[in-house]
Amino acid sequence: MVVDSTRRGKRMPDALSSTIPIWCTVLNLTLLPSNPSSANLYLPAHLPATTHSQICALIPEFVASFKALNLNLPTCLTKPLRPFWVTPDSSLPSVQDTSSIFDDFRPVICCTASRRVIGSEMDEGGYIQGAADDTEMWAHDLTAPLFWENIDELLKTPEAELPDLISRLVSDHASSKKDEGTQIELTPQLSVCPLPLHANPSECRIAVTQDTTAKDNWIKSKTYMEAGLGKNKQASRSLRTSLPEICDFAAKYLASATEPDQQRIVVACESGRDLSVGVALAISCYLFDDDGKIRKSTEDISFTKTFIKSRLGVVMTAYPGANPSRATLQSVNSFLMDWRK
């Protein structure tokens, strides 16, 4: 089941009405190509036939692009996926009607949480359609896992005191995560984590910090680099011109590591989800072949968008929580595709 909300005046969000149905068909054709139902595209009844035809024409291209990622896909799907839509206006079937309805497919329930509002929301008693989308406006950084971990305390706390409680819970959770120094393994040789980086002489450590520092001061030792790229978009843009030095540092470390268990590189940034992932992606493409072996320095290689996208697919599969920004990925693409110039 996938639950989402939609903006003012819409019956359901595009993610539920179009994106998920497209993915269902793409996955069906990829994983169950011989099933006669796999090619079927199911869309909500309110969408016009022209939309169905336009999307159907794009499905082969989507399937080809998905297969080009060369992902290690699970083979446990035995029936095609089929989306169903539930809104506040839906009438659900009785138990008797659903006894054998799912024999031929796996249902994907697309549930719209928003009640559709026609006209002025001022007449709806303060209800604003789609307001739940803007979680940063009301959740105070409270996540679903953190909510369930502290549900008893949250429910017994008076509403006026909730912002302070949530702030404390979020701060304590962030501190504990940093203390754990949790590393996410993207490949056997590459991991990412949030700052700070803990000392470990048996691995190469690259810290991407929010300070802006000169490149001459980045290398602290043979196994530790501290690249000061700045904050936010500035850091993502600076990444393009910084990746040559970062990848060269990693290459020299790998060349000096004689034992396979020493050929490990850990990249950290403030969140552990953006810049560190971009740097790890660049290192993966630049220094490792498709078998995970270190490239020879004389190896003739050219990087394409398809190749980079395939490696990004591997990274995202290993770390679904990764969230490299568009600017970060653009810097990685620019570096890899222009590195010979």
Q: Write down the mean pLDDT value for the chain.
A: 85
* Concatenated DSSP letters of 262-311: G--EEEEESSSSSHHHHHHHHHHHHHB-TTSPBPPTT------HHHHHHH
Task: Tell which wins on pLDDT, 274 or 131.
Answer: 274
CATH fold group of domain 185-338: Protein-Tyrosine Phosphatase; Chain A (3.90.190)
Tokens read off for 58: 């794009």
Determine the 3-state secondary structure of 47 from DSSP. coil
Q: What is the pLDDT of residues 85-94, one digit of tens each?
A: 988 777 766 6
Cα(339)–Cα(53) distance, rounded to whole angstroms?
42
Predicted confidence band at 135 (pLDDT cuts at 50, 70, 90)? low
Any bridge partners for residue 191, and if so which? 185, 266
**In the prediction, which pLDDT does 93 show?**
66
Tell whether the model's pLDDT for residue 8 goes beyond 70. Answer: no
Higher pLDDT, 341 or 28: 28
Query: Above pLDDT 70, what percent of the chain?
Result: 84
Residue 341 has pLDDT above 50, yes or no: no
pLDDT at residue 183, rounded to an integer: 86
For the purposes of burial, counting CB atoms within 10 Å of the CB of 137, is it exposed (0-12), middle (13-18) or buried (19 or more)? Answer: exposed
Question: What distance in Å separates the CA atoms of residue 263 and residue 256, rounded to the nearest whole number?
Answer: 9
Q: pLDDT per residue over 32-57, tens digit each?
A: 999 999 999 999 988 999 999 999 99
225-263 pLDDT per residue, tens = 999 999 888 888 889 999 999 999 999 999 887 776 778
Structure tokens at 143: 């996540």
Residue 287, pLDDT score: 92
Which pLDDT band, with edges at 50, 70 and 90, does 338 fall under? Answer: confident
Kindly indicate the confidence band of residue 176, based on its pLDDT and cuts at 50, 70 and 90: low
Three-class SS state of 248 = helix
Provide CB contacts within 8 A for 27, sequence distance 6+. Answer: 77, 81
Kindly indicate the confidence band of residue 222, based on its pLDDT and cuts at 50, 70 and 90. Answer: very high
At residue 24 the predicted structure's pLDDT band, cuts being 50, 70 and 90, is: very high
